[in-house]
Amino acid sequence: MSTAVYPGSFDPITNGHLDLIRRTAAIFDKVVIGILINQSKKPLFSLEERTEMIRKVTEDLPNIEVYPFSGLVVEFAKEHNVNVLIRGIRSTTDFEYELQMAQINHKIDDKIDTLFFATDPGYSFISSSAVKELWYYHQDVGEYVPDYVVQKLQEKEM
C-alpha cells in the first residue's frame, strides 16, 4: 500500500490545501494529513477545530486520515510507516525553503523522500495567513476556503 504524509498547520485549511490533498489522494492509496502543533504560533483555530474542518472537507475521500503531531515531520512519518512527504510549491521562494527542508529531512532519514506538487495557478496566491488577514478586515474569503471553513470563520470573534 502506498502512503504519503501531507503535513501543515492548516489554520485554516484553504482551497489550495484541499486541491493538493485531492491530487495526492488520487495517486496514493492512503494520505495521512499531519496537523502540526507549533508551540511558537498562536493559531486562530484550536487543534480540535482544525482536525474537524479537515475531516469535514475531505469526508468524500475515503483514503484520508488526519492526525495531530508535534516535533519533526520525519518522526511523524516513521510513526505511520510512511516514506513520502508531500509539499506544495507556489513560488520560487517556496521551492528554496521546501528544498532545504526536504534535504534536511532526507539527511535525518534517507528513506524519507519529498514529493513536490506545483500548486494550481488558481491557488498560487492563497495562504492561511492571507485568509486570516482578509477575514480580519471583513473581506469575503469564500473564494479561498471551503464553505465549511467560511462557516467556522463566521463563528469566530475577530
Confidence of residue 41 (pLDDT cuts 50, 70, 90): confident
Active site residue 40: no
Active site residue 17: yes
pLDDT of residue 158 exceeding 70, the answer is no
Q: What is the pTM of this model?
A: 0.94
Q: Which domains does the chain have, with CATH numbers?
A: 3-153 (3.40.50.620)
Q: Positive or negative, the Cα torsion across 52, 53, 54, 55?
A: positive
Catalytic residue among 50, 87, 90, 132: 90
Q: What are the angstrom distances between the C-alpha of 26 and each of 2, 58, 77, 90?
A: 11, 13, 20, 20
Give me the pLDDT at residue 156, please: 84
| Rounded Cα–Cα distance for residues 39 and 50 (Å) | 15
Active site residue 56: no
Report, as an integer, the average pLDDT of 102-118. Answer: 97
